[in-house]
Structure 1
Amino acid sequence: MSSHHPAPRRALSALTGLGLAVVLAVTGASATTPAQADSPASATGTRATGPTAPTARESRIVRRAVTFDVVNTNESSVACTSDRGSYTLRGTLVGSRRAVSGADGGGRINVLVHDVGTGGWFWQAPQRAYDYAGALARRGELTLVLDRLGYDGSPLDDGRATCLGAQADMLHQVIQRLYAGNYAFADGRGIAPPHALHVVVHGHAVGAAIAQLEAADHDDVDGLVLMSWSDTNASQRAVQEAGRQTLTCLGGASYASYGETANDFASLLFADAVPSVLRRATALRNAVPCGDVTSLSGLLLASLATTGRIEVPVLLLFGSEDALNRPGSADRQAARFGASPSVTTRTFAGVGSALPLERKAPQVQRTVLRWLDRH
């Protein structure tokens, strides 16, 4: 069982020729500070303001908004800068009424961390079959769906003010507040929110990389569920999209669109989604803070240096038709977790990157729930 207290910051290992080559291939340019900020809406023209969490289909499942006071500081292994300002992150607790209210005392809390370009909505679809957080709740799990800084309920005026190292640092702050019960219900009503005895972090794509880095730097979680992320096996399509976003940010923008068009966004994330799910996702896509875009190189280098020291069980999930990762990513990524006591992999045939929202989402949910039952 891992410790629930922060570990000292670990120094980033020296750059290797292989690591540097991977980074340069992905970004296509070095990170600099853009000269002029744009508003978040300017990157796509129609940036969604963020959905309301879906109404629970069973009365025993409730969803309550919560807030976390954090500092946008970077004490991670990623070499990037942030404004060190104080912010409020918003999230949603999803679970039974007793669990969400804290009446059950402390237990396990699953923290869901979204990718760039998506948001907390990714984990909470209105349709029952694609409601990942709801599926966990119906099996007795308590879940926190988090909006990262710069997304939906956690807005950031200047997208250059944060970076992926700071995103990992703020995730660490959230996890520590969950252990302490040091956060609040957004409506100000009720007793103190539930505290965690154990935390499992679920991440998608770059959200998975953030979760992975936090676990490596701080050793304060009990398991990782990582979807559609590879340290070393990105596809050429991923390289091209990262390069396009980087050029947008280096040109002076504050936010960059994820996919040049809505169709590009859909083709990057989906291979087999029902039309209603696809329409909702493209309508809710978010622009990416440029600080996240220009620190992707640093995140990749930190992942190369730190993944091997993660000492908790890991579940790796991929789709065979993922446009952002090359075939064989599951096995290659599994080999990176040399210190983990247990690494489980599953690749879903015919599925793209957005595993919780593809047609095989119920299979994804069952795979995760079986893994949670064993850990």
Structure 2
Amino acid sequence: MRRSHGVALRRRRFLLPVAAAAALLLSPLAYAAPAEADPAPATCTDVSVPVTLDLLLSAHVHAQLCVPTGPHHTAIQVLIPGATYNSYYWDFPYQPATYSYVRAANEAGYPTLNIDRVGTGQSTKEPSLVLTAVAQAAVVHQVIQKLRAGGVGGTAFSKVILVGHSLGSGVTEVEASTYHDVDGVVLTGATHHVSVTDLTQAVLTAAYPAALDPKFGLSYDVGYITTIPGKRASVFYNASDTDPAVVAVDEANKDVVSLTEMAGAVLQLTGPATLGIKVPVLLVQGGQDFLFCSGLIIHSDCSSSTALYQQESGYFSPAAQLHVYVLPGAGHDLNLERNAADYRQTVMSWANQFVPDH
């Protein structure tokens, strides 16, 4: 199996104190390139995974499983998108060499399972009230158990890295702290200090019932919301770090979110449950995230990786070996900003170090 050969990464143990964390996190980790001159391509398959919700409702999760055709890591990365997104967030259909996290992970030798949360994409649509962050976490847990048993795509994966974005990070926190069935956690676009004023502003001025949107019509009940046309740029992006064509593609592909799921995820993101995560954690945040890094009352200090580490470290146990990386200039959707490659390199190098193949 492919492993990192970065000398600096092998020798450094990255302790919890801020001084050690700062040396690691003020800039992206050294990227561990695969041994091959050209990364092995991945074979991708659409899969449908049967699951049940809290109320024993049957459902299915649609996902795309991508496995590098050559030697690859033993850990699979399971990707959970945020509110009003489905799996396209991680495998963006515009300039994928620049904006596809899936492609970057596969090229680094990591298999990926890119999920549509229940209620979004091609997964089962359920009444909005039954979709909560806890219910979605239980669904992800079932998917992980099937991955480990070889029940998804016919290959059993011995290690799992759970990667979330925004609301998906809230679901990731619930799953990892409740079921303890993953080997590493990556949280993106989410901290414990949500900007109350800016989040409230976004919900009141940029969102409305999905039933009112021309894209969705009456296919969703009133408990589902989406973004008002033309509002994604101001909420999810930093204009100076964004290709306008990305925003246009994002607008065309937008999805929905259940109000109950979103409310539960916000409560999770601001609570202490992350103390229950007992595996290595990497937290990645855009330096200009409107929903977290500004505001009049409470907000995250995204001025540097060290500053955010100091603010977040008390919410995690020593077992999490917390590392923090702030992507300078990036908005909330840091995976879709011009400099997204920097944070993806950081994630892959962190995974090489903290979720090794052996």
- Does the alignment reach a TM-score above 0.5? yes
CA contact (8 A) 1:115 1:207 kept: yes
Query: For 1:138, which of 107, 117, 120 is the aligned residue?
Result: 107
Query: For 2:291, which of 299, 302, 324 is the aligned residue?
Result: 324
Q: Any idea what SS the aligned residue of 1:199 has?
A: strand
1:213 aligns with 174
Query: For 1:308, which of 261, 268, 275 is the aligned residue?
Result: 275
Aligned-pair RMSD on alpha carbons?
A: 2.6
Q: Does 1:84 align with 2:84?
A: no
Instruction: Kindly state the Cα deviation for residue 153 of structure 1 after the two structures are TM-superposed.
Output: 1.1
2:248 aligns with 279
Q: Quick check: 238-247 or 109-118, which moved more?
A: 238-247
Q: Any idea what SS the aligned residue of 2:141 has?
A: helix
Q: Any idea what SS the aligned residue of 2:285 has?
A: strand
2:139 aligns with 170
- What is the percentage of aligned positions where both structures have the same residue? 25
Instruction: Kindly state the Cα deviation for residue 240 of structure 1 after the two structures are TM-superposed.
Output: 3.1
For 2:318 and 2:130, the matched residues in 1 are separated by 34
Q: Does 1:93 align with 2:62?
A: no
For 1:305 and 1:67, the matched residues in 2 are separated by 33
Instruction: Kindly state the Cα deviation for residue 248 of structure 1 after the two structures are TM-superposed.
Output: 5.5
Instruction: Kindly state the Cα deviation for residue 254 of structure 1 after the two structures are TM-superposed.
Output: 3.0
Amino acid at match of 2:47: V
1:201 aligns with 162
CA contact (8 A) 2:92 2:100 kept: yes
- Equivalent residues in 2 for 1:148-187 (5 A)? 148-183=117-152, 185=153
- Equivalent residues in 2 for 1:357-368 (5 A)? 357-368=336-347
For 1:246 and 1:160, the matched residues in 2 are separated by 18
Query: For 2:53, which of 72, 76, 90 is the aligned residue?
Result: 72
Per-residue Cα deviation, 1:324-359 (whole angstroms, up to 9, x for no partner): 102415332233112334111111111101111100
Instruction: Kindly state the Cα deviation for residue 111 of structure 1 after the two structures are TM-superposed.
Output: 0.3
Per-residue Cα deviation, 1:18-67 (whole angstroms, up to 9, x for no partner): xxxxxxxxxxxxxxxxxxxxxxxxxxxxxxxxxxxxxxx98822211112
Q: Any idea what SS the aligned residue of 1:307 has?
A: helix
CA contact (8 A) 1:95 1:138 kept: no
1:23 aligns with none
Q: Any idea what SS the aligned residue of 1:165 has?
A: helix
Q: Any idea what SS the aligned residue of 2:82 has?
A: coil
**Structure 1-normalised TM-score?**
0.72
For 1:245 and 1:157, the matched residues in 2 are separated by 24
Query: For 1:60, which of 38, 41, 62 is the aligned residue?
Result: 41
Instruction: Kindly state the Cα deviation for residue 243 of structure 1 after the two structures are TM-superposed.
Output: 6.0
Per-residue Cα deviation, 1:146-178 (whole angstroms, up to 9, x for no partner): 111011110315222321110011111111111
Q: Does 1:226 align with 2:207?
A: no
Per-residue Cα deviation, 1:107-144 (whole angstroms, up to 9, x for no partner): 21100000011110000023211111111101111111
Instruction: Kindly state the Cα deviation for residue 242 of structure 1 after the two structures are TM-superposed.
Output: 4.4
Instruction: Kindly state the Cα deviation for residue 202 of structure 1 after the two structures are TM-superposed.
Output: 0.6
Number of equivalent positions: 292
Instruction: Kindly state the Cα deviation for residue 304 of structure 1 after the two structures are TM-superposed.
Output: 1.6
For 1:176 and 1:217, the matched residues in 2 are separated by 14
Give the gaps of 5 or more residues in structure 1: 1-56, 74-82, 186-192
- Equivalent residues in 2 for 1:107-118 (5 A)? 107-118=74-85
Q: Any idea what SS the aligned residue of 1:196 has?
A: coil
For 2:141 and 2:74, the matched residues in 1 are separated by 18
Amino acid at match of 2:125: L
CA contact (8 A) 1:310 1:339 kept: no
For 1:200 and 1:114, the matched residues in 2 are separated by 14
For 1:61 and 1:273, the matched residues in 2 are separated by 28
For 1:341 and 1:226, the matched residues in 2 are separated by 12
Q: In structure 2, do the counterparts of structure 1 residues 314 and 209 end up closer, same or farther at CA, with 3 Å as the change threshold?
A: same
Q: Quick check: 226-235 or 131-140, which moved more?
A: 226-235
For 1:200 and 1:244, the matched residues in 2 are separated by 35
**Structure 2-normalised TM-score?**
0.75
For 1:109 and 1:297, the matched residues in 2 are separated by 27
Per-residue Cα deviation, 1:261-280 (whole angstroms, up to 9, x for no partner): 23222221111221222111
